[in-house]
Amino acid sequence: MKNASGGKHKSAGAARETKTGNGNQSFRVRLIKKYFIRLTLITMALCVLLCGASYMRNKDTAMVRISLNYEEANKGMAPNKTRLNMYEVISEDLLSSVIDSSDFGDITPHELRNHLSLRSSGSGIGDYISTEYILTANLYGMDIHTDPFSLLGLLCQAYTADFFNQYIGDTGNLFTDFLDSDALEYPELVDYLTIRLAIIQRFVNSRSADLKSFRSDSTGQTYVDIKDRVNQLVTIDLPALDSYIKQTGVVKQAAAYLAKLNYQIYSKSDDYQKQFQYYGAYAEAIAQYNILQTAVVMVPTYDENGEFYMSMTKTGIDDIALLAQNWNTQAANTRLAINRIKEIANNVDVSQTPSASALATTEKMVDSLETKISELTDLIIRVDAEYLDYKYKAPITYRLLGVSTSDKLNIKINFVICAVFYLLLWLIVGRREFNRSKTEVL
């Protein structure tokens, strides 16, 4: 009897489970039949709206790939070995120059900057150094008289010019004659020409040390050849002019120039007194230090190469000694300048007018030296331009990237949004219908 009763209970339970399972399956079928078309159409409508909105935002979009093609770029540096900041390509200074040279309408660099973006393309070394970047222009909502491709072209041209001037070198500016030599007295002109030749000599020495084998195709000159010509001007032509001016005492306006020299002597003498007083104050402070306070303490340590050595500690008196030495050096240099001005002043004779022949000879020597310097700077600029073209044939290149229709529609992101929205709709509708069916049963 028990077994029979138990069999009946099991059969009843199985029947209830089968009925429940069939009910759940029937509920899902009814739910799909009732809402599938509606929910699918709603989601499709949302997808169309999102893609349409994305297309309107992205239809005026263009991209360009910027590639850095020189060795130092792998270290995050510019060709001149200074730190490179690629965000200068969308800096407001550069944008301002582009706006000024184009007819974009009434737009500010800051407004234009908000519609540009720069990102690394992932080509480079590590997480922070890249040799390729993507520059994007999206002109949606801007009242600007150009298209994004033309804007990127103008930006790339402006940045290339700025890149060469700032990081590769504009030797033309380096050798520019900034002063009017006719307004200078002859001794002042010698000082000025000395400075110009020193700038040229330092540049040429640097180039000749690194580029002994480079030869210009157009001039046939090497930097070593140019270095020899510069040294001839520095050691022969310039000293000859300086010596002749000192021997003859030739000046253009003797009285005015002598008054100027006397004022310079007075001003520099005042500077000398102040500098020497500072030196004396620090020297007196050093003398008052106790000998035990200046004792040297040796500390065992390692240098940058990992080699052991005994390091001398720095005490307070070391800083004072450096300051004293600095003021003493300044005072000594000022004294030398005063002595040189006095030497020039002693050669100026206000009672006599320089002879016409002395003036003519001085002018001839000055013109000859200035002509040689001008010809030499022109030669350096030509040779250096060839060298830069040889070394940096294409240090920075650009490639316009087409923006596909799928990118403008932003299909991937919109598809994810719509898929999540579709699932949420089913969850909401399913929950609501389930609660309603439970209420009907009760």
| Euclidean distance between CA atoms 402 and 375, whole angstroms | 49
Name which of 245-249, 262-266, 325-329 the model is least confident about: 245-249
SS3 label, residue 59: coil
Task: Please give the residue that has the higher pLDDT: either 55 or 324.
Answer: 324
Task: Please give the residue that has the higher pLDDT: either 20 or 58.
Answer: 58
| Euclidean distance between CA atoms 284 and 294, whole angstroms | 15
**Which residues pair with residue 61 across a beta bridge?**
138
> Which amino acid would we find at residue 390?
Y
| Euclidean distance between CA atoms 52 and 12, whole angstroms | 58
Binned at pLDDT 50, 70 and 90, residue 122 comes out as low
Query: What are the tens digits of pLDDT across the range 340-376?
Result: 889 888 878 777 777 888 889 999 999 999 999 989 9
At 9 the pLDDT is 47
Contact between 148 and 62 (Cβ < 8 Å):
yes
At 233 the pLDDT is 94
Which of 238, 79, 82, 233 is CA-nearest to residue 160? 79
| Euclidean distance between CA atoms 202 and 208, whole angstroms | 10
Instruction: Give the number of other CB atoms < 10 A from CB of residue 32.
Output: 13
Q: What is the largest CA-CA distance in the chain?
A: 154
At 326 the pLDDT is 93
Query: What are the tens digits of pLDDT across the range 277-315?
Result: 999 998 888 887 766 555 566 667 777 777 777 766 656
At 372 the pLDDT is 93
| Euclidean distance between CA atoms 194 and 261, whole angstroms | 19
Query: Average of pLDDT values for 106-112?
Result: 86
Contact between 369 and 32 (Cβ < 8 Å):
no
SS3 label, residue 396: strand
DSSP label of 74: G
Model-level pTM? 0.52
At 22 the pLDDT is 53
Name which of 100-104, 170-174, 218-222, 318-322 the model is least confident about: 170-174
At 293 the pLDDT is 57
| Euclidean distance between CA atoms 233 and 373, whole angstroms | 8
SS3 label, residue 222: strand
